[in-house]
Structure 1
Amino acid sequence: MRAIGEKQDQARLAVSRHACKLFWERGVAGTSGDDIAAAAGLSTRTIWRYFRAKESCVEPVLAKSADRFIDILNRWPPELSLAEHLAADGISHPLAPQDVQDEISAMRIATMTASEPALRTAYLMVHDRMEQGFIPVIADRLGLPATDLTVRLCAAAVTGAFRVVDEDVSTAVIVDGKKVTEEQALALIDRAIRDATNGRLGGPVEPQ
């Protein structure tokens, strides 16, 4: 059953890549479920079995980007600051070419969400999932139960901070054509998380 689930996840991701490309090239209104199905080499019926609406087809690509950042935080050693960890993790876990393309696709969709409410809904749903993924990481970092109000508030703040940076960097790169290095993007994430949590997160964990 697990193999079947993984196969379906990969199939949904493949469809999502086609949908993101079509939405970017043609716009949401100019792209139909039939168009996405044709690009993916599937029947339209299969598309609707995988997704509730054409706009929700972007979710697997967006989720891949969100899950990657959750994984990065899960690898955060207690003795390192966030900035130190982000720099080191970028070297030890480099992006593959397909990962880079997926990140670009996610950034493009992020720039479209301001004018496309249905895409915005999909985008925010993925960030809600990201918030839930942050909770155990933050609880462990702060030495508090996952149900603690401070943990939940920090998870919400970190998610909001990440979303703002994601939107700002995406707009700068995709819309304005500016060059934002990985170091600059990581520095923005570090600063945003520190500011959003009033310094609770960002530094190394102090030994007890």
Structure 2
Amino acid sequence: MAQRAMMVSMVDPIAQAPLSLTERRKAKTQLDIARCAAELFSERGVSTVTADDIATAAGISLRTFYRYFRTKEDAVGPLLAGGVTDWITELTATPADVPAAAALESSARLTLTRTDRFGVDSLRLTRALLRAVPGDPALEAVWFRVVHDTEEALVTVLGERLGPDADPLEVRLLAVAGNTAMRLAIQTWAGTGDTAGDEDTGPTPADIAVRCIRALTAGVGSALDPSAG
């Protein structure tokens, strides 16, 4: 139950099937809990925060917390996966005549340049959270689970985009390249800036993502772009 909810928001980015009211409420509750967990982890450190602390901050009972998540670290999954959902949604909406590699790039840029308050705050929380990931095996496991799920989602969307005649290996390679590029970009950005005030003087996360995507999809992207020949 929790695993699927991590990969969806109001609309499933793969199936484009609207969620029921119950599913939307469940997803919102999970995201609210995730945001509280991320705030606490970044402020106090993972080791000092308990599941009870997260439940209290989220305004729920400990029993309710464990209905949604097995561990305190699992609680941040929906926040991390929310960015994935946004990216997949933007990628799916990119016009079909845009080459796959270019579609990955443009959708990543759109995802990482949101200016609405919720989007900006989600990026801030994700950045703070990823700064706490290194050295914490349980948080790393959640992060890499989201990374794995992202690759599978990309394979599905890119496979549909490129059509039934596309080489499955090439589709997988493009998904791996795009996924790795985004992961590197987010992790690189998380390691920059002022950790206290998050004042940036370097490249934006979108700039880093575009650079990584262009570098890692160069060979695969040209092989899959019909206009390249």
TM-score w.r.t. the length of structure 2 is: 0.77
> Is 2:121 the counterpart of 1:108?
no
> Is 2:40 the counterpart of 1:18?
no
| Structure 1 residues 105 and 87, CA gap change in structure 2 (3 angstroms) | closer
Q: Could you tell me which of 148, 151, 166 is aligned with 2:171?
A: 151
Amino acid in the other structure paired with 1:190? V
Alignment check: 8 A CA contact 2:87 2:108 kept: no
Shift of 1:97: 0.2
| Structure 1 residues 136 and 169, CA gap change in structure 2 (3 angstroms) | same
Shift of 1:179: 2.8
Distance 2:207 2:143 in 1: 23
Q: Could you tell me which of 77, 82, 85 is aligned with 2:106?
A: 85
Distance 2:105 2:172 in 1: 24
Length, aligned pairs only:
204
Look up the match of 1:35: 53
Q: Could you tell me which of 127, 141, 147 is aligned with 1:121?
A: 141
| Structure 1 residues 84 and 22, CA gap change in structure 2 (3 angstroms) | closer
Shift of 1:197: 2.7
Larger CA deviation: 54-63 vs 72-81: 72-81
Distance 1:196 1:35 in 2: 41
| Structure 1 residues 195 and 181, CA gap change in structure 2 (3 angstroms) | closer
Q: Secondary structure at 1:53's aligned position in 2?
A: coil
Unaligned 5+ segments in structure 2 are: 1-18
**Within 5 Å, which residues of 2 pair with 1:64-75?**
64-75=82-93
What is the aligned-residue RMSD (CA, Å)?
3.0
Distance 2:210 2:118 in 1: 25
Shift of 1:205: 5.8
Look up the match of 2:157: 137
| Structure 1 residues 87 and 136, CA gap change in structure 2 (3 angstroms) | closer
TM-score w.r.t. the length of structure 1 is: 0.84
Unaligned 5+ segments in structure 1 are: none
**Aligned-pair identity (%):** 29
Shift of 1:192: 1.5
Look up the match of 2:63: 45
Alignment check: 8 A CA contact 2:55 2:65 kept: yes
Q: Secondary structure at 1:197's aligned position in 2?
A: helix
Shift of 1:107: 1.1
